[in-house]
Homo-oligomer: A and B are copies of this chain.
Amino acid sequence: MTKPVQKRTLITRRNLIAAAQEIIAAKGYQDMRIDEVVQKAGVAKGTFFAHFPDKDALMDLMIGARIDAELDKLAQQDAPTSVGELVTHLRPLLGFMTQERYVFDVILRHSGAAAREEIGPIAKTFSRQISVIADWLADGPFRKDISPHLLADGVQAFAIQAMGLQFCAIHNGEPMITRLETYLDAWLTPGGAAA
């Protein structure tokens, strides 16, 4: 896990991940089964747990990788010049995160490093997300009385709030994106205009 010494180990690990990817592509995250992964990878069940502490750790890896890919795209965009543009930029990322209730739950569970020592893949993407957004906000027409980092923290908090309500039975009149825009208007440009 930390420092594989044998070539064999790397191959096994790669096979496990490849098998998981195929299964997820075919049936979604929710329906991935460890039994199916090990069967497809051609190893015994115990081997899986020699490579990953638990199922969640693999999910962390898989979902983290996809979020990272979204962040790659995000980071290449120009800094948004309005809240509307910011929300538009975030849309694909939030779309991925809310594609399955299960995925959103995994993300929530791992976003805060999950009380573990080592910071997992998803938690890393959350830090990165803060960096990307903070960079954007630093130069845009947004409030300047607090640090870009704090601003970005808030964007993340509101994004999670908006995504969470997405799955809620009551609040589904308003689409997630619209709700997020309302939040971010109030957060990033209090008083109605850039301060």
Q: Chain A: residues with CB nearer than 8 A to chain B?
A: 101, 105, 108-109, 111-119, 123, 127, 143, 145-146, 150, 153-154, 156-158, 160-161, 164-171, 182-183, 186-187, 190-192, 195
* A160 vs B162: C-alpha distance when bound (angstroms): 12
* A187 vs B154: C-alpha distance when bound (angstroms): 9
Does the CB pair B168–A112 fall under 8 Å?
yes
Question: How many copies of this protein are present in the complex?
Answer: 2
For residue A119, give the distance in angstroms from its CB to the closest CB of chain B.
6
For residue A125, give the distance in angstroms from its CB to the closest CB of chain B.
14
Does the CB pair A169–B115 fall under 8 Å?
yes
- Whether A191 touches B187, Cβ cut-off 8 Å, given contacts A112-B164, A164-B111, is no
Name the residue of chain B whose CB is nearest to the CB of A105: B109
3 smallest CB-CB distances across A and B, nearest first, come from: A157-B161, A190-B190, A112-B168
Does the CB pair A167–B113 fall under 8 Å?
yes
A-B contact list, 15 entries, CB within 8 Å? A108-B109, A111-B164, A112-B164, A112-B167, A112-B168, A115-B168, A117-B169, A119-B170, A123-B168, A143-B190, A145-B191, A154-B187, A157-B157, A157-B183, A191-B195
In the complex, chain B residues whose CB is within 8 Å of the CB of A150: 182-183, 186
Does the CB pair B165–A112 fall under 8 Å?
yes
For residue A90, give the distance in angstroms from its CB to the closest CB of chain B.
15
In the complex, chain B residues whose CB is within 8 Å of the CB of A118: 169
In the complex, chain B residues whose CB is within 8 Å of the CB of A191: 145, 190-191, 195
For residue A115, give the distance in angstroms from its CB to the closest CB of chain B.
5
Q: A150-B186, A157-B158, A190-B190 are in contact. List 20 more A-B contacts (CB 8 A).
A: A101-B114, A105-B109, A108-B108, A108-B109, A112-B164, A112-B167, A112-B168, A115-B168, A117-B169, A119-B169, A145-B186, A146-B186, A150-B183, A154-B158, A154-B186, A157-B160, A160-B160, A187-B187, A190-B191, A191-B191
